[in-house]
């Protein structure tokens, strides 16, 4: 990732001389490169090649660039591709300007400063822009000035507090959080105190990434929430609902290129109608081994009554210490010893009931009126609420709703951050969500059995079919013959 520059200054130990004093002659640079003769991978541009432009931040650097540009321009260009690392790009720039990349930094137009050059281009937002990519070269003494004007900042809240002259707790909450259909309650004072603490928690977490890209999980949550809200008829109330969802703790590991290896995400979903909240917790693990795969994805929920202004950040810690959480669903693979006979067999449990689901909907959005012109509970359906809870921890899932449209299909929306292991469970999860939400079953895909009850579509979860047993016996016979 880039360098955090919340208190920018040139790093200790860095050479603070201007580029003109560090610029080597061709002979000096050739001698310098003899020490790195084996490091030549960067010279080949793999994949589709494009030109990247590097501009200078100060006048001294511009003067050096003019001597390096065949046409005398105060910028340089080097080839790059999606298969590059930022280091390879930096090495090509180094060859062009004959100044070691250990003496300077690269920064993006939106204020991200690369420090180590270890990033992969394919997973870095700065290289996903349309048109030509433009980076700024910074000398160590440029950091403070650049940061003051361009340092990338991250914010979570989309709304700002409205003026309020009332001293009533409900009125103050409505002004500060843009509550919707809120009713009088003695709990609003506690709600306001805790929600301000939650907003401060995420603000401080994002401040850590000033001058850097924030972890992709935040973008994933925002995109997933936006996908759900687009299905509703909330209009300008969407931002208020977005701000009700606060990621309080995120831990994410990936293999690069957006493939998640493990994750723990804890978000609180505040009600915009009542002084209550619902906590959502995701635990996820995916690892491929030589002859098997490790996978689980579990989502839990907890009713948070808000009886304290302090944040309760406890999460599930095993089946004997759930800390008030209950499962929404649990997905995994059967525990089969690794080997040639190993195969991925899904084990899936959807635990939240219709009664629990309806209760959560009422807690978060109030009571339904059955009218299209009703309140918030009529604008956000029970199905959409469940999708919103999943979105709050980064799982973007669309549950189909039109039984007469064959193109309306259940879908995990992966995007740049991929939850491996979930694909293949779309129909199962969609059917379960529709069932507890009281929605009409889908006609296509055999969602209902002949007696009108939902079918269990986990028939493929049998450990061994006759065909598999025959294949295994044949393999055993081959092994005996080889022995």
Residue 137 CA to residue 38 CA, distance in Å, equals 26
Report the distance separating Cα 310 and Cα 313, nearest Å: 9
Neighbour tally for 140: CB within 10 Å:
18
CA–CA distances in Å: residue 120 to residues 89, 125, 126, 288: 10, 10, 11, 21
Q: What is the pLDDT along the chain (483 residues), one digit of tens a residue?
A: 444 444 445 566 678 899 999 999 999 999 999 988 778 888 888 888 899 999 999 999 999 999 999 999 999 999 999 889 899 999 999 999 999 999 999 998 888 888 778 788 877 778 888 889 999 999 999 988 888 888 788 899 999 999 988 888 999 999 999 999 998 999 999 999 999 999 999 999 998 888 788 888 999 999 999 999 999 989 999 999 999 999 999 998 876 667 888 999 999 999 999 999 999 999 999 988 777 788 999 999 999 989 999 999 999 988 888 999 999 999 988 776 666 666 667 889 999 999 999 999 999 999 887 665 578 999 999 999 999 999 999 999 999 999 989 899 999 998 888 899 998 899 999 999 999 999 999 876 555 533 344 444 444 443 344 444 444 444 445 544 544
The owner of tokens 């979930």 is 422
Structure tokens, 168: 């009533």
Exposure b/e, 399-412, CB count within 10 A at least 16 = b: bbbebeeeebebeb
* pTM score, whole prediction: 0.73
Cα-trace Rg, the chain: 28
Q: Are 283 and 146 in contact (CB under 8 A)?
A: no
């Amino acid at each position: 990732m880039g360098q955090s520059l919340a208190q920018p200054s040139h790093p200790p130990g860095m050479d603070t001389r201007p580029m003109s004093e560090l610029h080597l002659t061709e002979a000096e640079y050739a001698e310098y490169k003899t020490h790195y003769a084996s490091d030549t991978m960067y010279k080949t541009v793999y994949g589709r090649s494009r030109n990247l432009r590097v501009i200078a931040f100060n006048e001294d650097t511009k003067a050096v660039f003019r001597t390096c540009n065949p046409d005398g321009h105060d910028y340089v260009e080097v080839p790059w591709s999606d298969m590059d690392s930022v280091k390879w790009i930096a090495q090509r720039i180094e060859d062009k300007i004959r100044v070691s990349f250990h003496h300077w930094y690269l920064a993006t137009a939106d204020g991200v400063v690369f420090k180590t050059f270890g990033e992969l281009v394919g997973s870095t937002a700065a290289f996903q822009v349309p048109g030509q990519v433009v980076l700024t070269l910074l000398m160590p003494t440029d950091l403070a000035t650049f940061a003051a004007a361009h340092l990338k900042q991250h914010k979570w809240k989309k709304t700002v507090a409205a003026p309020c002259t009332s001293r009533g707790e409900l009125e103050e909450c409505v002004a500060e959080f843009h509550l919707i259909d809120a009713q009088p309650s003695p709990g609003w004072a506690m709600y306001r105190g805790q929600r301000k603490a939650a907003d401060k928690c995420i603000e401080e977490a994002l401040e850590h990434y000033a001058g850097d890209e924030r972890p992709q999980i935040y973008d994933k949550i925002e995109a997933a929430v936006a996908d759900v809200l687009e299905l509703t008829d909330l209009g300008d109330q969407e931002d208020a609902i977005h701000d009700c969802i606060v990621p309080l703790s995120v831990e994410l590991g990936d293999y690069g290129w957006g493939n998640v290896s493990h994750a723990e995400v804890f978000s609180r979903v505040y009600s915009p109608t009542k002084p209550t909240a619902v906590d959502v917790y995701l635990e996820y693990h995916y690892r491929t081994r030589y002859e098997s795969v490790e996978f689980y994805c579990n989502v839990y929920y907890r009713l948070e009554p808000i009886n304290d202004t302090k944040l309760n950040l406890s999460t599930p810690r095993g089946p004997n210490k759930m800390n008030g959480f209950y499962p929404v669903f649990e997905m995994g693979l059967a525990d089969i010893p690794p080997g040639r006979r190993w195969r991925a067999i899904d084990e899936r449990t959807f635990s939240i009931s219709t009664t629990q689901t309806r209760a959560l909907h009422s807690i978060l959005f109030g009571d339904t009126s059955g009218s299209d012109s009703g309140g918030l509970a009529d604008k956000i359906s029970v199905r959409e609420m469940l999708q919103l809870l999943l979105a709050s921890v980064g799982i973007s899932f669309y549950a189909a709703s039109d039984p007469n449209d064959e193109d309306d299909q259940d879908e995990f929306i992966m995007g740049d951050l991929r939850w491996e292991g979930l694909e293949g469970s779309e129909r199962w999860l969609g059917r379960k969500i529709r069932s507890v939400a009281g929605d009409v079953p889908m006609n296509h895909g055999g969602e209902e059995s002949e007696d009108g009850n939902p079918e269990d579509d986990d028939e493929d979860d049998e450990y061994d079919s006759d065909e598999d047993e025959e294949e295994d016996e044949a393999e055993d016979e081959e092994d005996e013959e080889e022995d």
